Amino acid sequence: MKGPLPMRQQVSGIIVLFGASGDLAQRKLYPSLFHLFQQGWLSERFALIGTARRPWTDEHFHEIIVNSIIAYNQDDSIREEAQKFAKHFFYVSNDASKTDDYLLLKEKMVDLQKTYQTDKNFLYYFSIVPSLFEITSKNLKETGTTSLEGNHRVILEKPFGTDLASAISLNKALNISFHENDIYRIDHYVGKETVLNIWATRQFNPFLEAVWNNQYIDHFQITLSENLPVGTRGGYYDQTGALLDMFQNHILQVLSFVGMDLPKDIKEIHQSKEAFLRQIPSFTLETTQKQIVRGQYSEDLSNIYLAYRDIPEVDSSSTTETFVAGKIEVNSPRWSGTPFYFRTGKALSSGKYTVVEAVLKDRSSGNSLPNRFTFLIHPKKGIEISMNQKALKGHFAPQIIRLTPDQSLTGKQEPSESYEILIYYAFLGNQMLFTTWEELKEQWRIADSIKAAWAALPAPDFPNYAANTLGPDDAIALIEKDHRKWVSKRYNA
Ligand code: BG6
């Protein structure tokens, strides 16, 4: 391998998709597979077996696939191509607890492998409720399906457990059927090119690495702002909340790309991330009270959004948070004194965007805005540098200039949807963009410590922000009491 990423190579094999009738499959997986196929990354020698409880025919399944591809691309002219592609798809209904259903599945896998002359790659994609992970993997093993000759890998959607204890027990159960190296835990943020770009930019620019420490960086800000309210996902969300939905996984993963020591070799990236996550202290009652802010939205001022508590399937006195912000302090030689602030929430007026800001130390004290280095994750992509220079109209007052990425280089349709990259990497047997068990354990440790503190504290006084505003005032106070400000532009607009 010359570069850091795998060489372009066609992959061939069989995907068994559990949860083929689900929302994720239709919104993301079918369009991603189609695009991989169109681009020639997925070979003609592939087949997908979709499973779910309902009894569908192959024809009906094909219709679903074609419609989802057309809807994603908003282009009816690809219908014929999508129909041809859908011929690689087969449907076998499956009741997770019935071993006979797995035997039929296994038979189909053997048949299709012969018909399509696929490589001996079997990829099981669990896009199902987590309570079915264990029984499904157990039955795959007990029916001898995972003993068919070849590679057997499993991709799991989040959440992986509901706390550290349940994650440990789930992992033990999965390890009976799959080796750790064959378990691919998805965090779709890590599949975003712009998240891997955090590592790449640091790696390819030694000057940046020279200042990537507490001597030059005052603090970091990570913002995952969402304008949409919780909507139709009340049942799931009320059991989860922003801490587990966004912080425990996406924010901690992004944070580890920012804070880790650069690995000597990209192949060691997980060791670097794990070491960084281990340096994040668990929260105590005291640090949770001081450093973590939670919020829940009420209806907005013009009554367009329902209050969170009025959403179907949400408890009418729910104390689930729809917003969380916080400050993480890492007591390492590199980062001691340089905190990492984060915030995320639903129904925010700041819109949908994700950025990471490295706010640089200010030695002149007269700067209009702090110098900073920004990773634009979404929807703008790339890096942005904001620096102070002498104002060019005669006087000396510093003036901020921003070097921004050339957005004209970004294509209309994302060629690299994170699911495309993730499925492709799993086919290659490359774990680089997946969450290892060691990372996950640390992520749970940190999130659990906040949960435990919340459980011991008096119930929060919710709701504490109106939908379509910037979130709770306490999130602003959190950073302002340290004489800092949230800097990302849209948030403060
Ligand atoms: C998911 C969460 O993991 O990530 C959602 O369950 C959230 O609640 C989504 O909206 C955000 O992902 P993205 O890629 O749209 O920023």
- Nearest C-alpha to atom 6 of ligand 1 is from which residue? 245
Number of domains the chain contains: 2
- Cβ(348)–Cβ(469) below 8 Å: yes
Alpha-carbon distances of 242 from 237, 247, 395, 398, 448, rounded to whole Å:
8, 7, 47, 39, 13
Please, which residues have CB within 8 angstroms of residue 464's CB and are 6 or more apart in sequence? 295, 296, 472, 474
Do 160 and 198 lie in one domain? The reply is no
Do 164 and 238 lie in one domain? The reply is no
Domain limit, last residue, from 159, 186, 213? 186
Task: For residue 211, give the CATH number of its domain.
Answer: 3.30.360.10
Domain limit, last residue, from 151, 186, 221? 186
Binding-site residues for NADP(+): 53, 158
From 152, 219, 250, 270, the catalytic residue: 250
Neighbours of 68 (CB within 10 A): 20
- This prediction's pTM: 0.93
Distance 189 CA to ligand 1 centre (A): 8
Cβ–ligand 1 distance for 187 under 6 Å, the answer: no
Domain limit, last residue, from 167, 186, 205? 186
- Nearest-angstrom CA–CA distance, 400 and 391: 8
Cβ–ligand 1 distance for 226 under 6 Å, the answer: yes
Do 204 and 180 lie in one domain? The reply is no
The closest-lying atom of ligand 1 relative to the alpha carbon of residue 240 is 6
Do 40 and 144 lie in one domain? The reply is yes
Cβ–ligand 1 distance for 245 under 6 Å, the answer: yes
Do 357 and 392 lie in one domain? The reply is yes
Do 218 and 165 lie in one domain? The reply is no
Distance from chain centroid for Cα 43: 27
Do 16 and 101 lie in one domain? The reply is yes
Distance 108 CA to ligand 1 centre (A): 34
Instruction: Render each residue's pLDDT in the chain as its tens digit; 493 residues.
Output: 334 455 578 999 999 999 999 999 999 999 999 999 998 999 999 999 999 999 999 999 999 999 999 999 999 999 999 999 999 999 999 999 999 999 999 999 999 999 999 999 999 999 999 999 999 999 999 999 999 999 999 999 989 999 999 999 999 999 999 999 999 999 999 999 899 999 999 999 999 999 999 999 999 999 999 999 999 999 999 999 999 999 999 999 999 999 999 999 999 999 999 999 999 999 999 999 999 999 999 999 888 899 999 999 999 999 999 999 999 999 999 999 999 999 999 999 999 999 999 999 987 766 667 889 999 999 888 899 988 888 777 676 667 777 776 655 454 444 457 899 999 999 999 999 999 999 999 999 999 999 999 999 999 999 999 999 999 999 999 999 999 999 886 544 3
The closest-lying atom of ligand 1 relative to the alpha carbon of residue 418 is 14
- Cβ(299)–Cβ(221) below 8 Å: no
Do 180 and 200 lie in one domain? The reply is no
β-partners of residue 401 are 387
Is position 429 within any domain?
no
Spatial CA neighbour of 48 closest among 97, 85, 101, 10: 85
Q: Tell me if the bond preceding 159 is cis, omega within 30° of 0.
A: yes
Domain that holds residue 216: 193-411+442-481
Cβ–ligand 1 distance for 417 under 6 Å, the answer: no
Do 160 and 202 lie in one domain? The reply is no
Is position 69 within any domain?
yes
Tokens of 239: 């059991």
Task: For residue 151, give the CATH number of its domain.
Answer: 3.40.50.720
The closest-lying atom of ligand 1 relative to the alpha carbon of residue 249 is 3
Do 67 and 94 lie in one domain? The reply is yes
